[in-house]
Amino acid sequence: MVSIAFVGAGSVVFTRQLVADILRYPELADARLVLHDIDPERLRVAEGTARQVSRQLGASATVEAYADRRRALDGVDFVVNMIQVGGIDATLKDLEIPARHGLRQTIGDTTGVGGVFRALRTFPVLEGVATDMRELCPQAWLLNYTNPMAMNVWWVSTVAPDLKVAGLCHSVYWTAHDLAELVGVPVGETRYRAAGVNHQAWLLEWDHEGESLYPRLRETIRRDPGLERRVRVEIFRRLGYYPTETSEHSSEYVSWFLRSDEQIERYRLQPLEYVGISRGNVAEFEAARRALAAGEDLALEDGASEYAPQIIHSLVTGTRREVHVNVPNHGLVDNLPQDAVVEVPAEVDGDGLRPVPMGSLPAQCAALNQPYVSVAALTVEAARTGDPRLVRQAVLMDPNASSTLTPAQIWALCDELVSAHGDLLPEPLRALVPAGAL
């Protein structure tokens, strides 16, 4: 029987999907599912959700729920991390405080000021998870879903380099599926590989019957001028490779789109979009709680789109698959910094998970990735050294922030966010740094 721990299981809608995808595999139908969350009510709902999913699918899973993280991690084979440190309140601060300073974000969870402060809140908890795993389940895989993906995996590889860790994201999967539908080709007949950094990887290989699908995509865009008002299409037109995250995400990783009202209107962007998404997530939790209390069945999505269930199944059964993972760059992408976390294909089977070396990215793609990598590197170094200046310097390197705010304004914004997040941040990084200090 395989044992799988879910840390942050109170993200009940995502927990529901992962549990359903896992239990749909006959070989995993008797899995031991161990749920952990620091919120007792969310943990209770997550436990009820997992039990109901097992019943609906006719599985025989063992479901356990613990507020004690160490008890949850003891002896497990896999740890799926999906925590949100500070919850919706901290997320709203990451979005609304920068907006008051004139800095627009759409999602704010990957890079830039929102990503930096989300990472700094998450690192201490992740380090605690890693410490517990080294003692209680040292051979387990840590499968991370928590954003900012690249920074979190980078931090784990810094503080616990002996752990097996992979960051998982569905952006490559859904990009390939959505583009196949757009050009009218069944996705199962396509072959695709992407590489770069999480939420800003590049579809480098995309073929059907041995021929690139890029010419067909260009023709589809030419026939539909409305597509040119999407951020990803504009990036594709200028760089020649399609990025693997949504236009909403992609808009805030560069300096080109959120800097003016005209660009926002042209590319149909919605600053602060994640505020609504976050409140929608709370509403979904409440709906799940009400459904369970009323004895109603929860809706289950069809199909296994997430990588964690696929990886677990392959490692347990030996079934060979190719997935995309986020891992330290140990010879995987030649023209991005080594030890930075990159997103690349990986082969997985009973012998393990093996990232695929992808050589050099197209020069223009690597150049666009570099500021993203620099923000992540400075954030990790800030946490490692406890130097609060590095926090401000990380935000200063962000193209979106630096296209909108002056250095002095970035310093003031960071000071306000430090004060707002308070004890959620590591103690050395709570110091305020005068803008004119040398």
The per-residue b/e assignment along 94-112, b for 16 or more CB within 10 angstroms, e otherwise, is bbebbeebebbbbbbbbbb
* C-beta separation of 269 from 247 below 8 A: yes
Strand partners, 355: 346
Annotated binding residue 147: yes
Q: Which of 36, 101, 170, 330 is catalytic?
A: 170
3-state secondary structure of 212: strand
Scanning 139-189, the segments in alpha helix (DSSP H) are: 149-159, 171-183
Strand 211-212 and strand 200-208: the pairing is antiparallel
Annotated binding residue 266: yes
330 counts as catalytic = no
Annotated binding residue 279: no
Annotated binding residue 199: yes
The CA distance from 53 to 195, in Å, is 35
Token output for 268: 């149909």
Strand partners, 207: 191, 212
Listing DSSP states for 304-371 in one string gives: ---HHHHHHHHHHH---EEEEEEEE-SSS-TTS-TTSEEEEEEEEETTEEEEPP--PPPHHHHHHHHH
For the chain, report the end-to-end CA distance as a whole number of angstroms. 59
* Residues that constitute the known binding site for Mn(2+): 169, 199
Which residues are the active-site residues? 170
* Residues that constitute the known binding site for substrate: 147, 266
* Residues that constitute the known binding site: 147, 169, 199, 266
